[in-house]
Structure 1
Amino acid sequence: MSTHFFGEGNIGSAPEFREFNNRNDEPRRLLRLNVYFDNPVPVKDGYEDRGGFWAPVEIWHREAEHWSTLYQKGMRVMVEGRLVKEEWADADENARVTFKIEARRVGILPYRVERVRLGGKSSAAADGDDHPN
């Protein structure tokens, strides 16, 4: 089961980059983020978080290694992708269910950002290919 997901949250730990061999083709690259998606509800003195949740966010893209240096713990992000249900059994053979987000886009929101420095165009952007591999 999967469904479209769109949410805003904070990265809770350092990004994790992994690379997987793909035979003779370019390796597949994965960036994992652990994100807390909050649910701020207005109260008398500001906001209160009600019903927020943690979710692993996976980004498969050839630029994942570079992006692992951009995303940081505590950074506010907007995530768009698919919410995917995963069923599995623990060590005691108890049925478990978890959810993860297979991200299509993860945008950095400007909260607490001190500066931005743009690099040159990547070859993917020059070719008009901004989609994940």
Structure 2
Amino acid sequence: MSTHFFGDGNIGSPPEFREIPNGNEEPRRVLRLNVYFDNPVPGKDGFEDRGGFWAPVEWWHRDAEQWATLFQKGMRVQVSGREERDDWTDDDDKPRTTYRINARGVSILPYRIASVTMRPKSATGESPAATDE
């Protein structure tokens, strides 16, 4: 079972990148994020969180490795995709249900970002080392 999903949230742990072998073809790449999707409601003293939920987000993308270096814990993101339900049994044979987001797109929202510095790539194709400015 799946349904369309669209939500804003914060990344709760460092991103996880994996390559999965695909026979003789190029390996499939996935970026896994653990995101807390909140429900902010305006109040007297700013916004108040009126309940939310944690959800694992999987983004299958050929450039997932590059995105893994960009996303950081605490970063605010917007996720669109499909919500998928996984039914399973735990070690005590109790039925469990987990919901995960199979993302079509993950966008960085400009909250909590102090600055962005754009630098040209070096001749080897790698980004230059960061320096204190």
Same fold (TM over 0.5): yes
Q: Where does structure 2 lack aligned partners over 5 or more consecutive residues? A: 122-133
Indicate the SS of the match to 1:111. coil
Q: Take 1:3 and 1:118, find their aligned partners in 2: how far apart are those partners?
A: 40
Question: Which aligned segments of 4 or more residues in structure 1 are displaced greater than 4 angstroms?
Answer: none
Instruction: Give the superposition deviation at 1:110.
Output: 1.0
Larger Rg, first or second structure (1 or 2): 2
Aligned-pair RMSD on alpha carbons?
1.4
Whether 1:62 and 2:62 are equivalent positions in the alignment is: yes
Aligned to 1:115: 116
Distance 1:115 1:47, change over 3 A: same
Identity percentage of aligned residues: 67
Aligned to 2:73: 73
Instruction: Give the superposition deviation at 1:116.
Output: 4.6
Whether 1:37 and 2:32 are equivalent positions in the alignment is: no
Q: Take 1:119 and 1:108, find their aligned partners in 2: how far apart are those partners?
A: 21
Q: Take 1:71 and 1:57, find their aligned partners in 2: how far apart are those partners?
A: 13
Q: Report matched runs for 1:91-110 at 5 Å.
A: 91-110=91-110
Aligned to 1:127: none
Q: Take 1:48 and 1:62, find their aligned partners in 2: how far apart are those partners?
A: 37
Aligned to 2:8: 8
Instruction: Give the superposition deviation at 1:41.
Output: 1.5
